[in-house]
Amino acid sequence: MDFVSILTAILTLTAGIGVFLVACTMMSSNLESAASRRLKRLFSKTGDNKWIGVGIGTLGTAAIQSSGAVTVMVIGFVNVGIMSLTQAATIIYGANIGTTVTAQLVALGLSGSNSISTTLLFAAFAGIGAFMMLFAKTDSWKKTGGILTGFGMLFVGLSMMANAMDEFAALESVKLFLAGIRNPLLLVLLGAVITAIIQSSSVMTSIAITMVVTGLISLDQGIYLTMGSNIGSCVVAIIAGITSGVAAKRTAMIHLLFNVLGVVLFLGAALVLGGLSAGEWSFGNIFERLFPAAPQLQLAMFHTVFNVCTMLVALPLTSALVALACKIIKDVPAANSNEPHLYYLDPQMLRTPVVAIRQLKAEVENMAQMAMANYHRSIQDVITLKNAEREQFDQTERQLNYLNRELVHYALLLSNNQLNRFDHQYLVSTIRTVSDLERIGDYAKNIIEYADSLRQQQVSFSEYARDEIEQMSKLIDKLFQACMQAYHKMDMTALGLANQIEDEVDQLTDEMERNHIQRLALGICKPQAGTEYISLAQNSERVGDHLINVAKTIRDLQ
């Protein structure tokens, strides 16, 4: 083989890996987008039953064809306290089983008769899907087309990799070099490093399968490379955990410990098996006998057996793995920083829009709580004139301004992903909602400035006025509870109740203005407080308007 042929083979292999990676991403993102609401419901069903966690992890990964995406979702849930470490561990076990589906698809693709290969039949789905994406009118059909295109491209990339491996198999020097790499530890390390670089255990396993099929490496070599790919796949989780809290880091550590445990167990079993049979038996011999004349199926089945057996061993040891992860990743003393920050989101969640949108909603609801807390602080200050929580008020105001900028930016970044209609519409509404909540903070700031004015003039509201302000505060709080019920649970009944309460707020505002004018005429209230009182009533009424705006966003999401 001349230099041009070698270079062609290298370029073909590189292109094949690239097409395979793009196909995995395309299929995963479209599947995730199409199934996002079902995935949210699926993950919410995680309970204390470990087998349910394994099943959810397996089904979730098989559904979206990405164990990395599922693992990042789990880390996001653990990071905000939605899921315990034990629950996360069982889902990760299942995710490792679910990811073997890709290897089984690859094995199926490399099978077939001499006339038309299965690879070619499946690759044709890329064209079918592309036509669907081009001509489909509805979003659901476009996503279906994207899934089929990704599925077909998977086999286009596989075919290119297989062709490149055939070229390399013709080179005696390459075969001799690869044949010399027999050390199991070195092969495991090589598989882990390559997987860490390309961040896809599916691609590494697929490369190993094509190398075994073309005779470039033995089945035992492919087995050790595949075992190493399981360790390398932890890189995605580790990256997601680095920028998150302690719980998220522990989740990533459990993922790593689980995969290392599996590799150690199987390396030990291989050593014992070889020792007892004087080197005649190995995992390769066993799977060759179980699935004769089908090298692609031999390695794919080992991959599945490896992950299932590791899960069976790890499941009763889950508490010990969690304890070890907690021992390795120690608790960090809480920082006393008052700097504005996000509570539920981090940049890594952008990789999994399903989780990011859910956590974005949590940030919005938290922002709403902050805005209302400042409103109530301002009301208490204007009633008591003690200026007791001014430092906390100013700190929360800075946080609200920060969240206004960051959440809008995050929503825009998320909107660049392939999303279903519901999620896309939610992101559009979120930008308006965040603005409404920031305005509530501004009105609270106006009210606390009225308290400053009263203190400066050394005047205060009358007892009658303070009673009305208290009444307004309670009514606004009642409105807030109804609006949050509507927003959080998409509850149209709660929205109807909120509209009724908002009408009561409007009526009370008019009453406060009329009553205050009468009190001024009777000399009960001082003229210096007149302007502030009427402005306070109007500002409270506008707080109610913005709360209703937040609740009304659910009408566009039905």
Using alpha carbons, select from 300, 220, 310, 304 the residue that is nearest to residue 260.
310
Q: Where are the alpha helices (DSSP H) in 85-183?
A: 85-98, 100-109, 118-123, 125-135, 139-169, 172-179
Give the domain ranges of the chain.
3-170+180-328, 347-557
Q: Give the pLDDT score at 114.
A: 47
Specify the 3-state DSSP secondary structure of 112. strand
Q: Give the pLDDT score at 376.
A: 95
List the structure tokens of 238.
């580790």
- Give the Å distances, CA to CA, from 244 to 19, 43, 72, 316, 338: 31, 20, 11, 28, 18
Q: Is residue 293 left, alpha or beta, with left meaning phi > 0 and alpha meaning psi from -120 to 50?
A: left
DSSP, residue by residue, 228-280: HHHHHTHHHHHHHHHTS-HHHHHHHHHHHHHHHHHHHHHHHHHHHHHHHTTTS
Based on its alpha-carbon atoms, the radius of gyration of the chain, rounded to whole angstroms, reads 31
Q: Are 97 and 304 in contact (CB under 8 A)?
A: yes
Helix axes 3-34, 50-64, angle to 10 degrees: 120
Q: Give the pLDDT score at 241.
A: 65
Q: Are 33 and 420 in contact (CB under 8 A)?
A: yes
pLDDT, averaged in runs of 10, over the chain (558 residues): 74 83 70 59 66 84 68 70 82 88 77 57 84 82 83 79 73 71 90 81 83 88 92 76 72 90 94 81 90 88 94 93 90 63 78 78 94 95 90 94 94 83 88 95 94 86 89 96 94 94 94 86 71 87 96 87
Using alpha carbons, select from 392, 337, 338, 341 the residue that is nearest to residue 363.
341
Q: Where are the alpha helices (DSSP H) in 385-418?
A: 390-414
**Separation CA 355–CA 39 (nearest Å):** 9
List the structure tokens of 7.
């270079």
Question: Options 2.60.40.10, 2.40.30.10, 1.20.58.220, 3.40.190.10; which CATH number does 347-557 get?
Answer: 1.20.58.220
For residue 299, count CB atoms less than 10 angstroms from its CB and return exposed for 0-12, middle for 13-18, buried for 19 or more: buried
DSSP, residue by residue, 273-331: HHHHTTTS--HHHHHHHHSTT-HHHHHHHHHHHHHHHHHHHHGGGHHHHHHHHHHHSPP
Using alpha carbons, select from 252, 263, 258, 255 the residue that is nearest to residue 306.
263
**Separation CA 198–CA 201 (nearest Å):** 8
**Separation CA 47–CA 61 (nearest Å):** 18
Using alpha carbons, select from 450, 428, 460, 424 the residue that is nearest to residue 537.
450
Q: How many CB atoms lie within 10 A of CB 203?
A: 25
**Separation CA 29–CA 13 (nearest Å):** 24
Q: Are 314 and 93 in contact (CB under 8 A)?
A: yes
Q: Report the run of H or E that residue 37 belongs to, with start and end.
A: helix 36-44
Q: Give the pLDDT score at 418.
A: 72
- Give the Å distances, CA to CA, from 238 to 202, 250, 257, 407: 18, 9, 12, 25
Q: Give the pLDDT score at 335.
A: 47
Q: Give the residue carrying structure tokens 């069903």.
A: 45
* CA dihedral (169, 170, 176, 177) positive or negative: negative
Angle at 349 between CA 318 and CA 331, to 5 degrees: 50
List the structure tokens of 498.
């909120």
Q: Give the residue carrying structure tokens 């997987």.
A: 195
Q: How far is CA 325 from the centre of its chain?
A: 21
